[in-house]
């Protein structure tokens, strides 16, 4: 095999799970259940950690301590930078499982911090503040968020994320009678950076349902909407236990690691202004054409028949054509050579004019 080809299918050793749902749907409870089961299944000595954005750690810490004999460790914050730094620290310190609850808040914090920085600079310049992010901001925010995405996928760490659910909207087909289109719900997505919601290898939607049969019964329903092993994909269970997720975890191979190479290697050929080779060539052609026209106009600034004829003759001597449209199609190398030729011809013409003027002055009577 070549240098790039490798044997695939050696296994993935780390759980990358995600739960999405509306408030009180059971995301945190089920994530803790999965974290405890994962730690016990793989007999990982390190404690469970939690990046806590909603203050939920205080309600689950005792449950984790009772099940594992170890204190829950973690950080209460909504900062994106804190989330990434804590994740890296957990990997270094051999934490058994990291729970991020909720990943929605760091995404919002990143967006809000970005807008706040923009408005601080606008205020310093006495400009009106911006009320919302604009299209160009995503070119900055998405690569910044990708630092977390890359860590989440490639870290040697079991990670479970929880994210708030939001509706996806789209327009319906035009009504046959009125031709109008209605805005309608088309699905549910995780409220975070658009692409990250699909990164977990095990993605579960949680729903809360109330049943009335003499007394109110609360049901937390789990639906697997993504299982990359295809073992529990599409399966559903009310008030799920660890065994519901076990088939997915049994496919993991502890100790193996299959990271994706995320180093930037592709050379697109752009310069510091973001221009590629084609753009630079086009710009050089424009510059050379302007310089050629500048030389011709400086020598023959008028629009008389004689001056127009002189310009065309010089262009023909330099490029073998009298068509300016064709000259504009030549590459910058040909244009540069032609420009040098034109400058020689113009200099020769100037010298000839100078000699002619001196001769006329000498011929004038004293």
pLDDT digits (tens, 9 = 90+) for 198-214: 889 999 999 999 888 77
Give yes or no: residues 293 and 237 share one domain: no
Alpha carbon distance 181, 307 (integer Å): 63
Whether residue 58 is found in the same domain as residue 21: yes
Percentages (nearest 5) of helix, strand, coil residues in the chain: 45, 20, 35
Residue 336 lies in a domain: yes
> Do β-strands 236-238 and 216-227 pair in parallel, antiparallel, or remain unpaired?
antiparallel
The helix (run of H) or strand (run of E) holding residue 210 is strand 202-212
Range of lowest pLDDT (22-31, 59-68, 222-231, 306-315): 306-315
Asked if 342 and 295 count as a contact pair (C-beta separation under 8 A), the reply is yes
Q: Are residues 48 and 102 in the same domain?
A: yes
| pLDDT tier at 172, thresholds 50, 70, 90 | low
Q: What is the mean pLDDT of residues 259-278?
A: 72
> Which of 70, 13, 7 is closest to 41 using CA atoms?
13
Q: Looking at residue 7, what is its pLDDT? A: 80
Helix (H, G, I), strand (E, B) or coil at 289: helix
Q: Are residues 305 and 209 in the same domain?
A: no
**Residue 91 lies in domain:** 16-171+183-250
pLDDT for res 364: 67
pLDDT at 366 over 60: no
> What pLDDT is recorded for position 365?
65
3-state secondary structure (DSSP) of residue 10: coil
For residues 165 and 133, give the distance between their C-alpha atoms in angstroms, rounded to a whole number.
21
Output the average pLDDT for the chain. Answer: 88
| Cα gap 340→338, rounded to integer Å | 5
Residues with Cβ within 8 Å of residue 140, at least 6 apart in sequence: 114
| Residue 272 clears pLDDT 80, i.e. is over it | no
Is 298 a domain residue? Answer: yes
Of 332, 330, 314, which is closest to residue 322 (Cα–Cα)?
Answer: 314
Give me the pLDDT at residue 175, please.
Answer: 67
Residue 171 has pLDDT above 70, yes or no: no
Give the three-state DSSP class for 259.
coil
- The DSSP bridge partners found for residue 116 are none
Query: pLDDT category, 187, cuts 50, 70, 90?
Result: low
Provide Rg for the chain, Cα atoms. 34
Could you tell me if residue 259 is inside a domain? no
Q: Which residues contact 258 (CB under 8 A, 6 or more apart)?
A: 10, 11, 12, 13
How many domains would you assign to the chain?
Answer: 2
If you average pLDDT over residues 104-128, what whole number do you get? 93
**In a shared domain, residues 218 and 312:** no
For residues 288 and 224, membership in a common domain is answered with no
CA separation for the pair 139, 145 (Å, rounded): 11
Which pLDDT belongs to residue 128? Answer: 94
pLDDT bin (cut points 50, 70, 90) of residue 268 is low
Identify whether residues 32 and 79 lie together within a single domain. Answer: yes
Say which range, 184-188, 222-226, 350-354, has the weakest mean pLDDT.
Answer: 184-188
């Amino acid at each position: 095999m070549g240098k790039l080809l490798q044997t695939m299918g050696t296994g993935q050793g780390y759980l990358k799970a995600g739960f999405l749902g509306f408030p009180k749907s059971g995301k945190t409870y089920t994530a803790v259940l999965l974290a405890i089961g994962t730690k016990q299944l793989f007999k990982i000595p390190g404690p469970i950690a939690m990046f806590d954005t909603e203050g939920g750690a205080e309600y689950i810490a005792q449950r984790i301590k009772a099940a594992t004999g170890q204190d829950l460790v973690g950080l209460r914050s909504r900062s994106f930078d804190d989330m990434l730094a804590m994740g890296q620290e957990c990997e270094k310190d051999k934490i058994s499982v990291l729970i991020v609850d909720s990943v929605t808040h760091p995404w919002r914090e990143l967006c809000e911090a970005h807008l706040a920085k923009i408005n601080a600079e606008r205020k310093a310049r006495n400009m009106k503040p911006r009320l919302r992010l604009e299209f160009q901001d995503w070119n900055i925010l998405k690569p910044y968020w990708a630092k977390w995405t890359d860590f989440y996928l490639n870290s040697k760490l079991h990670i479970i994320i929880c994210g708030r659910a939001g509706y996806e909207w789209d327009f319906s087909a035009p009504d046959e009678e009125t031709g109008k289109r209605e805005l309608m719900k088309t699905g549910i997505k995780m409220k975070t950076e658009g692409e990250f919601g699909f990164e977990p290898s095990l993605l579960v939607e949680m729903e809360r349902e109330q049943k009335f049969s003499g007394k109110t019964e609360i049901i937390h329903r789990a639906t697997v909407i993504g299982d990359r092993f295809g073992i529990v994909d599409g399966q559903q269970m009310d008030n799920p236990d660890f065994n519901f997720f076990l088939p997915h975890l049994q496919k993991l191979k502890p100790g193996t690691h299959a990271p994706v190479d995320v180093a930037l290697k592709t050379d697109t050929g752009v310069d510091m202004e973001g221009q590629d080779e084609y753009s630079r060539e086009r710009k050089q052609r424009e510059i050379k054409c302007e310089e050629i026209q500048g030389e011709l106009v400086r020598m023959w600034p008028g629009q008389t028949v004689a001056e127009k004829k002189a310009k065309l003759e010089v262009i023909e001597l330099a490029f073998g054509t009298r068509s300016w449209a064709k000259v504009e199609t030549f590459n910058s190398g040909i244009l540069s050579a032609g420009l040098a030729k034109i400058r020689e011809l113009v200099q020769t013409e100037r010298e000839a004019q100078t000699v002619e003027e001196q001769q006329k002055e000498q011929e004038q009577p004293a």
